[in-house]
Structures are given as C-alpha cells and as structure tokens.
Structure 1
Amino acid sequence: MASRFVDRAVIHVAAGNGGNGCASVHREKFKPLGGPDGGNGGNGGDVVLVVDPGVHTLLDFHFRPHASAGNGKQGQGSNRSGAAGESLQLSVPDGTVVLTEDGEVLADLVGAGTKFVAAKGGRGGLGNAALASRARKAPGFALLGEPGEARDLVLELRSVADVGLLGFPSAGKSSLISVLSAARPKIADYPFTTLVPNLGVVTAGDTVFTMADVPGLIPGASEGKGLGLDFLRHIERCAVLVHVVDCATYEPNRDPISDVDTLEAELARYTPALGGDLAQRPRVVVLNKVDVPEAAELAELVRPDLEARGLRVFEISTVTRKGLRELTFALGEIVAAYRAAQPPPTPTKVVLTPKAVDDGGFTVEPDPDEPGGFIVRGTRPERWVRQTNFGNDEAIGYLADRLNRLGVEDELARQGAEPGSPVTIGDVTFDWEPSTPGVAGVLAGRGSDPRLADRSRITAAQRKEARRIRREGLPEPDADTEEDVDDE
C-alpha cells in the first residue's frame, strides 16, 4: 500500500487528572491522638508535543486523533503522597504549527527537540496533614485533585524549505527537483501528478539548501480551487520563490507572461498564518522546456518583459540540463544572502524560575439567568471550588473561610447581595450565607472540626473542684449551676 502524506490533523488532547488528597489520622498503640497524616495526591501528567527529525508527516494523528496522559494517584496515610501521572510525549515533524479551532497560532515548532505543552495536567489535592494549622489541628477533610486540561487542537505542517517551486500543473516542477536533488517525485504527463509536497536537498558550492515542490496552482487556488490552497502553507517559510513556467504548453489562452501574472495574483491573495507577506519574497522565473524549438523561441521573446519587472530569468531544460548550473548557484546566492540578513539564532537557555502565582483577582457580576443572583469569576475561587468535597461540612467551611479572606463576601455585600441569594462559582451554585461582620446572618460552624467542638469532657479545674466538694462533704451542684459557672 502506498504511503500517505497528511499535513493537517485535528487532535483531541486530555491531560491527566490530579489525585485526591487523603484524610487520615495516625493510629498507634498508646497514642490515641497521633495527629493527621494524610498525604497529598499526585499531579496529573501533561500532553507534550516534541519535534522529531525522524517524523515527516502527521499521518499518525490522522488515524489516532485522541491522546490522554496518566492520572495522578490518590494520597495515602502515613504521609505517603500519591504518584504523579505519566506524561505523554507526541512526536511531530519539524515545522509543525499548533493552532486553536478558531485559527489562533499557539506555537510554531521548528528545530529538533522543541517542545510545547498541549495540555497541562491537573494539580493533586492536599492531604489533611498539609492542611493542619494552629487553628485547625486535626482537619477531617482533604482537597480533591484538579481535572486535567482537555482541548481540541489543529496541527498543520509547514515545510521548512529555503526555495519553493510554484507553477501550473505539469510545468516541470517535479522534474526540476528530481535533477537538482536526490528526491524522486512522481512524474507523468497529466495534470496534478504531484499530490503531496516533495522536499529535496541541493548543493551549490559551499551553500546547501532545501527545495520544496508543491502541487500545481490554478486560478482561484487561494480561494480553495484545485490543490493549491491546501499546500500554499508549505512555502510560508521559503527564502525565495521560483516560478516554473512551461514554455511548450499547448493549452489555449496560456503564455509565460499570463502564467506569471496568475501565480503572482494567487500569492497576493493568500494570507500566511505565520505572518509576513509572500508578495515581498524574492522571485526567480524559470522558463522550462527550452529543449523544444518553439519553447526556446517563446522564451527569448518574453524574457525582456519579465526582466523589465525586476525578475531574474533563467532558461532551462531538465532533459538536456541546460541552464541548471547557473540556476543552482543563483538560488544558493539568494539563500545565503537571506540567511545572513536574519538575526543570529540565540541558543536555548535553561532558566530556573519559580512557579507563577495564580492571579488573586476576581470579579463579581449579576447573574443574567438568575434574578438576584451573582456570578464570581476568578482563577483562585474557581480552583478552590473544584478542590472542595461538598459532601464534607468541614471542607465546605474551609472553602468559605478562603473565599472570605480573599474578599469575595465583602464584594458580594457591596453589590447588594442578601442572605439566600444564589451565587455561582465555576459549576457550583449555592445560597449565600454571609459571615462578614456587620452583615445580617452568620454561618455557624464554619471551618470548625465537630470532634473538637465537643465540650462534654471534664476539665482539670472541674475535677479539682469535685474532689474538694467530696472532701468537705458539701452537696454537689446540679447541672444548671455548672453551666452557669462555666458561662461566667
């Protein structure tokens, strides 16, 4: 079966979810209050795109468009953290451009080893050992792991070539690249023989450059006619564009001048996704098939008109190899001059920087779908909601404390929120019960541990008082009297 060339693919990447934290209490003989020892959950794995020189097509993504990284493991007792999820590396060819579905360019991957994190893994949740503090000595809850990032991306291959060959179908582009390099493209005497771009390496003295042969262009290619639009992206990186013109064509209404005008018009209409303007690239016109007498006469006739436009013109024959040496060295000079004009490449530096701190800002706005409701947006509030186990009252109290310290309650009160108003954060909607001083309503038990709120245990002072009463033979006080003494 013949190999297939795929230069565009839509992939669905999903990073791994973070593991949940563990809520555990250390248990050991003769140590009833060993303290919290729940470990943290492991981080989810990333999905990473890596440039591999051995990969030349996006064919693998065409048949396997879904890619998922490993999930982080849950934390365990005895302060054992969960294992991190395994990251997934996907090999892409050199020159791959990563875009969103809307066409926004996210990354241009050029150079072996270049990496791009396509989907970031979720963070693991903290265990109750990491949540312990002087005010909350024995947390009875842990934080949940965050879900990994999941999104659809478009991969487009833009060949990394120095010279791009353009021309009508059967103009002789494939023949030219076959005689100048070791490339062996398909050559036949019918239109659209070339269905995929062909790359060849050409040597001109001390200059070595790559040449790309793209499928033939026809009028309207920039608007999607023929095959040109699908492959014009492969010439976006070229330093020089070569118009290959067939001087021996028998098609009516075609001549070298009109062919060049048509090619220039299509290039002017095409907008490169990587920026720049193809109309500003250096041009070379190649008048091909001059081994045919009529073609040689036509080439001599149109050459002055083309040179009057400032174009360098070469008459060649891929059959007799006439003019190929002059063309090769001329292209080498243009490529060398283009490379010299580019800024020197800067080596990749390894810079150790601390992790970015999440934006602490948030916004509160009225909910358009819920009368009297509000929507809270912000990186930290939404992340805290995702980490909260809403089946645990203490975890809910911890979330409320965090939101209060961030200033969410003050902003809700300032915008006129009342107790019971529906508030939405992320995917969760709840009735607001404020605890801010000066605002009606108090949420009892916020952030408290029910095990520590039990006051039925007799204190040392109470035991001393009870012994004194027994020694002196005094009547023991009733329960109501004890409560009054405690209140005082």
Structure 2
Amino acid sequence: MAIPSFVDRVRLHVAAGRGGNGTASVHREKFKPLGGPDGGNGGDGGSIILRVDPNLSTLVDYHRQSQRRARNGQPGEGDNRNGARGEDIVLAVPDGTLVTDADTGEQLADLTGAGAELVVARGGRGGLGNAALASASRKAPGFALLGEPGEERTVTLELKVVADVGLVGFPSAGKSSLVAALSRARPKIADYPFTTLVPNLGVVVAGDLTYTVADVPGLIEGASEGRGLGHDFLRHVERCAALVHVVDTATYEPGRDPVGDLKIIENELARHGGLEDRPRLVALNKVDVPDGRDIADIVAADVEQFGWPVFEISTKTGEGLTELSHAMAEVVRRRRAATPAPEPARIVLRPAPAAGEEFAIKRQGDGEGGHLWRVRGDKPERWVRQTDFGNPEAVGYLADRLNRLGVEDKLLELGAAAGDAVAIGGDPRTGDGAVVFDFRPQVDIGAEILSRRGEDDRLVEDRPAVARRRELDREYHRRKADGTWRTDVGEDARDDDQQPRRDPTDD
C-alpha cells in the first residue's frame, strides 16, 4: 500500500529517556584507603520536543514512523564524575498542529507560529550519587539513588492549515485553478472530480497586503458525516479569516444549480460548526463559457439575497480576479485589525502552592493479614522509584524520608496497625506496579529509640562465637567478684591485665 504524501492526522507514541543511576563509590589512594564518598550523579534522560517548522506542510514523517524514543542518561562514576545527559529529540511539525493526549482526549498544545514548541515527554531525572547524599549524620552512604523513568505517552497530532482565506465548494468548481491564478502555487488541475486530494496553499499580494489562500478539497452533500473527501479537510477552514464560495456556473451534472450548491455547502459548514462568524464572499466561476455567463447573470440576484458580495470570475481568462483579490484583502485587513496583536512569548514560573498535603492516604480494603493502605503523592512515589530495594541502607533511607514527610504519623492517625499492607505508587486507576510494604511503626521506649529507622534489633541474631565469648566474659567477672577465680585456676592464672576483652555492645 502506497504511503500518501500528505497526512494531516497521526497517532504518535513518544517515550523520553530514563535518568541514569547514581553510583556509590569511596575515594581510595595510597595511604588513604577510605577518603570519603565520591560517587557521581546520573545524567538526566533525553526529552522529546515538538517544534514548529514553517517549511513543513504535512505530518507524513510520523505516519511512516509512529514511535519515537529518546536516549537514556548515563550512570554516574567514581571520582565525582557525573553521567552524561541523554540527548533530546526535536520533532518538527507544521504550523497549526494541534496536540492531544490520545488516551484522555486532553488538548496539550496548539502549536502556531514559527519556533513554537512543546515538551511532549520529559526525560527522567538522574539519581544522586553517594557523594551528594553525604551529610553530617551520614558521612559515608553505602548507597545511591536510581534514575527516574522518562514520561511515555501516545498523542494525536492534527494539522489545521493556517490561512487567511479558505476556498470551499463542490469538486471541480475551480478552487485549485483560482489558487493558481491568484498566486505562484501550482496545484494539480484536471477535469475530473476530486482531482485535489490535499489542501493547497497560495500566497496572494493585493496592493500593499499579503495574505494566504487555502484550497480545501471538494465538499459534497453529507461531507460532515463522512461522505466524500471533504470531511477529512473541513478542519482546515477553522483558522481562516474569511471563506469564499467558489460556485461552478457551467457544471454538466444534472440537478445542480449555483443557488442549490451554496445551500448545500453552507449546510455542511453549519453542521461542522464554529464557522458562523466568518465573512463570506461568492465567486461565480467559469463565466468564460457562454452558458456559464448566462447562468451567472440569471442567478446573481438570488445569490445576493444571502447578503454576501458576489463576483463573476474566470480563472481561465482572469476576468474579475483583481476585484476578488482586493475584496479578500479588505476582509483580511479588517480581521487583522480586529484581532489583538499576540503578546511576545515569555517564560512564566508558577511554583506549586506551599500549603496543602504533599500526599494522600486512602484505605482500599483488606490485604493479606490486615488492611491495605494506598499512599499517593508526587514525593512518595518519586522516592520509591529512586530506591534500590536490594540495598538495606537505601531502604532505611527511604523510611527516613517517608517519616520526615509525615507518612508514618498519618497512617497511625488513620488507624493503621503493625502488619497492615502499605502500597505506594503504581497505576492510578488499577494500582498495578505499586511497591507494597508491611507497616512496621517505629518503636519508642522513653526518649530513646531502640534502633535506627529501617532496622529492627529484634531481628538481629549474634553469631555463635560471639555468644560464647560473651558468656565466658560474664563468667569471669562473676567469679572474680566473689573471689573464686584464682583458687580455681591456680597460681599460673592470668593477671588482671590479661582478662578477656569486653565487648562494647554489653554496655
């Protein structure tokens, strides 16, 4: 199947690059084996950017290749070397491209004007290395943060031609011929219906004004419901400042007349919607044909009853084209004068409000052995994505961060008990992909914490050799205290300074 040269609607899947992982490294050199953490940060993943290129007029490139993926960021390295950032991908789109989220239907951007751009998928942030995680209380972290995944989504790109005047009418009414006669555009012209399969743009100069004219492929009755080709291109007249009805006064098809053609096309435009405020002009074309001039003279009075200016023209001989082009220029001039000048583009920073909860907790039923609590929020979900769950110290660091944020206190306030399941992250609708923890609240005795957060001393067992040594030490001190040590072991017993070394963990 041949690929068309003009495409004005495509679905595009974009995936930004993943951020590189941070690294855990310790600086080592001669006479300085432990010189402190020096693990570098991972690089950010590449983003995917849509940018308007005024030289483009079709979306065919994305019809051929409908998936685009940016590069991942590189991981950090030792000696405080950060990973390289993933390269951004800039996708050129025509002026007038409407970007919509294919899953939600949300309009993301209307890209008009040369250089307008949209970051449609943002790259993931790189993870911090252990050098960046070091602090006064954590001088040598043995872990680093993972890079975050980049955004991934499917968007719909829809092209709406940006033109000042749109030419509408039945097939073979002479719209392409009119564009060719008024401008330097050279569209395909033939004497059979639906010769024009794509919108044609032409630049017209009338006096001191320059404007653009778009030839919309032929409309027929029922075009707004999908008949013919016109339903695919009605969107291209939505941006036009004025519409010109090109009416064929010398048609050979039975049952057609200029007034009837006008009513049918107006009905299709009304059913499409959004074009009621556009000024109209009527061009009675092909008056160079004897029958065409006679019909134009007959129906001119009836057409004028619509309240629109009427021009008798011939694209073949050039009759009436000067008057029509200046009339279109006047309409465009008034439209531009009534439209406020666009403000220059500027960057607006809108920081998130400081007030309000940074996370939300909701009970969603019973899990295994207890209730299930789901934690939602940008920070908790991002922290979970950054955590290497194969590293106990990294898990303890995550527990510290969640506690400082207030997640543990909120769970206790809502009635969560030890052993309940706590899910963080995952798909917002189904919950798939969430990380599930068993809730183990911190145990306090008086003012002292029994263990570091993320650890539980009750689960730590001593090695057998350590247990035997501690038992011998206790027996030595007990017998020395009651004076039976030297009598049992004799005069060759070891002196006090030879007593077994005490384990500092006994204090």
TM-score, L = length of structure 2: 0.84
**Shift in CA distance, 210/322, structure 1 to aligned 2, threshold 3 Å:** same
CA contact (8 A) 2:365 2:371 kept: no
Post-superposition Cα deviations, 1:255-291, rounded to whole Å, max 9, x if no partner, equal 22221121111112224xxxxx211111111111122
Question: 2 CA distance for matches of 1:247 and 1:436?
Answer: 91
Residue matched to 1:130 = 132
Question: Which range moves more in the overlay, 399-408 or 413-422?
Answer: 413-422
Pairing partner for 1:305 from 302, 307, 310? 302
Write the mapping of 1:79-94 to structure 2, written as runs, cut at 5 A: 79-94=80-95
**Shift in CA distance, 299/421, structure 1 to aligned 2, threshold 3 Å:** same
Residue matched to 1:222 = 224
Residue matched to 1:109 = 111
**Shift in CA distance, 301/215, structure 1 to aligned 2, threshold 3 Å:** same
Q: Which amino acid aligns with 1:291?
A: D
Question: 1 CA distance for matches of 2:9 and 2:196?
Answer: 17
Displacement of 1:297 after TM fit?
A: 2.9
Residue matched to 2:484 = none
Residue matched to 2:193 = 191
Q: Which amino acid aligns with 1:212?
A: A
Write the mapping of 1:8-27 to structure 2, written as runs, cut at 5 A: 8-27=9-28
Match of 1:243, SS?
A: strand
Which has the greater radius of gyration?
A: 2
Match of 1:33, SS?
A: coil
**Shift in CA distance, 31/357, structure 1 to aligned 2, threshold 3 Å:** farther
Post-superposition Cα deviations, 1:428-476, rounded to whole Å, max 9, x if no partner, equal 11211112769xxx994425799xxx9x9xxxxxxxxxxxxxxxx9725
Question: 2 CA distance for matches of 1:2 and 1:390?
Answer: 48
Question: Which range moves more in the overlay, 365-374 or 107-116?
Answer: 365-374
Q: Which amino acid aligns with 2:415?
A: G
Question: 1 CA distance for matches of 2:291 and 2:307?
Answer: 25
Residue matched to 2:482 = none
Residue matched to 1:475 = 496
Residue matched to 1:118 = 120
Displacement of 1:161 after TM fit?
A: 0.7
Displacement of 1:315 after TM fit?
A: 1.3
Q: Which amino acid aligns with 2:282?
A: V
Note if 1:280 corresponds to 2:277: yes
Question: 2 CA distance for matches of 1:240 and 1:368?
Answer: 59
Residue matched to 2:395 = 396
Q: Which amino acid aligns with 1:94?
A: D
Question: Which range moves more in the overlay, 385-394 or 172-181?
Answer: 172-181
Question: 1 CA distance for matches of 2:269 and 2:215?
Answer: 16
Structure 1: gaps spanning 5 or more residues: 272-276, 457-472
Residue matched to 2:38 = 37
Question: 1 CA distance for matches of 2:66 and 2:161?
Answer: 21
Question: 1 CA distance for matches of 2:69 and 2:384?
Answer: 24
Note if 1:433 corresponds to 2:432: no
Question: 2 CA distance for matches of 1:116 and 1:197?
Answer: 25
Question: 1 CA distance for matches of 2:366 and 2:163?
Answer: 54
Residue matched to 1:251 = 253
Match of 2:288, SS?
A: coil
Match of 1:396, SS?
A: helix
Question: 1 CA distance for matches of 2:292 and 2:91?
Answer: 50
CA contact (8 A) 2:443 2:450 kept: no
CA contact (8 A) 1:360 1:380 kept: no
Post-superposition Cα deviations, 1:318-343, rounded to whole Å, max 9, x if no partner, equal 12222111100000000011111111
Match of 1:331, SS?
A: helix
Residue matched to 1:333 = 330
Question: 1 CA distance for matches of 2:198 and 2:443?
Answer: 67
**Shift in CA distance, 449/342, structure 1 to aligned 2, threshold 3 Å:** farther
Match of 1:373, SS?
A: strand
Question: Which range moves more in the overlay, 324-333 or 307-316?
Answer: 307-316
Question: 1 CA distance for matches of 2:50 and 2:192?
Answer: 39
Post-superposition Cα deviations, 1:97-143, rounded to whole Å, max 9, x if no partner, equal 21111433211111222111111000000001111111111111000
Residue matched to 2:63 = 62
**Shift in CA distance, 122/37, structure 1 to aligned 2, threshold 3 Å:** same
**Shift in CA distance, 185/481, structure 1 to aligned 2, threshold 3 Å:** closer
Write the mapping of 1:110-189 to structure 2, written as runs, cut at 5 A: 110-189=112-191
Displacement of 1:248 after TM fit?
A: 1.6
Structure 2: gaps spanning 5 or more residues: 426-433, 467-493
CA contact (8 A) 1:433 1:443 kept: no
**Shift in CA distance, 398/135, structure 1 to aligned 2, threshold 3 Å:** same
Question: 2 CA distance for matches of 1:152 and 1:436?
Answer: 47
Question: 2 CA distance for matches of 1:29 and 1:288?
Answer: 92
Note if 1:292 corresponds to 2:289: yes
Aligned-residue RMSD, C-alpha = 2.7
Displacement of 1:2 after TM fit?
A: 10
Match of 1:322, SS?
A: coil
Displacement of 1:345 after TM fit?
A: 2.4
Residue matched to 2:429 = none
Displacement of 1:369 after TM fit?
A: 7.6
CA contact (8 A) 1:404 1:436 kept: no
Question: 2 CA distance for matches of 1:377 and 1:303?
Answer: 68
Displacement of 1:26 after TM fit?
A: 1.2
Post-superposition Cα deviations, 1:385-437, rounded to whole Å, max 9, x if no partner, equal 00000001111111111111111112222222111111111121121111276
Q: Which amino acid aligns with 2:287?
A: V
Displacement of 1:189 after TM fit?
A: 1.8
Match of 2:244, SS?
A: strand
Question: Which range moves more in the overlay, 365-374 or 56-65?
Answer: 365-374
**Shift in CA distance, 324/5, structure 1 to aligned 2, threshold 3 Å:** same
Displacement of 1:477 after TM fit?
A: 9.0
Match of 1:211, SS?
A: strand
Write the mapping of 1:195-210 to structure 2, written as runs, cut at 5 A: 195-210=197-212
CA contact (8 A) 1:434 1:443 kept: no
Residue matched to 1:409 = 408
Question: 1 CA distance for matches of 2:33 and 2:84?
Answer: 29
Match of 2:453, SS?
A: coil
Match of 1:165, SS?
A: strand
Q: Which amino acid aligns with 1:303?
A: A
TM-score, L = length of structure 1: 0.87
Residue matched to 1:7 = 8
Match of 1:146, SS?
A: coil
**Shift in CA distance, 436/176, structure 1 to aligned 2, threshold 3 Å:** farther
Question: 1 CA distance for matches of 2:176 and 2:331?
Answer: 21
Match of 2:137, SS?
A: coil
Question: 1 CA distance for matches of 2:3 and 2:66?
Answer: 21
Question: 1 CA distance for matches of 2:504 and 2:15?
Answer: 59
CA contact (8 A) 1:140 1:449 kept: no
**Shift in CA distance, 398/321, structure 1 to aligned 2, threshold 3 Å:** same
CA contact (8 A) 2:4 2:60 kept: no
